Structure 1
Amino acid sequence: MAFLPFSHTWPYEQQGKDFYIETCPYCQTEHVLTPLKEKDVAQAKESFKVRLVMPCCHKVMTIVEADDDYFWADEPLRK
């Protein structure tokens, strides 16, 4: 993985087979259930780009890498 600054990260949680984002980085909606599947996150962990359309505001996050706690995006998500 090429170095991306921490400002390009966003935390997520997995509960069973569902992936949640505590707060949307775009519209600040809380407790967002994402449409991601386990295979999508597995691909992101292998450095394949995965598009995440946020169900709350329909903004698109392009995930370029993932680990067990964070999605790494191709844009700054934090201020």
Structure 2
Amino acid sequence: MKITFEYTWPYERMMNDIYIAECPFCKSDNVLTSFKEEQMELAKEGVKQRLIMPCCHGKLTILNADDDYFYTDEKLRGQQ
């Protein structure tokens, strides 16, 4: 399965914390997630992970990750 840009969402890492600059669901700014280092390593290995956004309880299913983006099973860009 090829994942296109519409199915990605950027994140930032500060120390051991994972931030989302803007929630793809409610548009809240600088959202501190509860995503743990173990989950990040599993995501980078291609093991599916779930991220529940603390701002609105929207759910991201992360299929993969790299150093900049989460790759999801949901079209997050161009939906509004």
TM range (shorter): over 0.9
1:74 alignment partner in structure 2? 73
Deviations 1:20-61 (A, max 9, x none): 000000000000000001110110000000000000000110
Question: TM-score under structure 1 normalisation?
Answer: 0.97
**What residue ranges of structure 2 are gaps of 5+ in the alignment?**
none
Q: Partners in 2 of 1:7 and 1:34 — Cα distance? A: 21
CA RMSD of aligned residues (A): 0.5
Aligned length: 78
Question: TM-score under structure 2 normalisation?
Answer: 0.95
Q: Partners in 2 of 1:18 and 1:41 — Cα distance? A: 11
Moved over 2 A (4+): none
1:62 alignment partner in structure 2? 61
Q: Partners in 2 of 1:20 and 1:40 — Cα distance? A: 14
- Letter matched to residue 22 of structure 1: A
**What residue ranges of structure 1 are gaps of 5+ in the alignment?**
none
Q: Percent of pairs identical after alignment?
A: 51
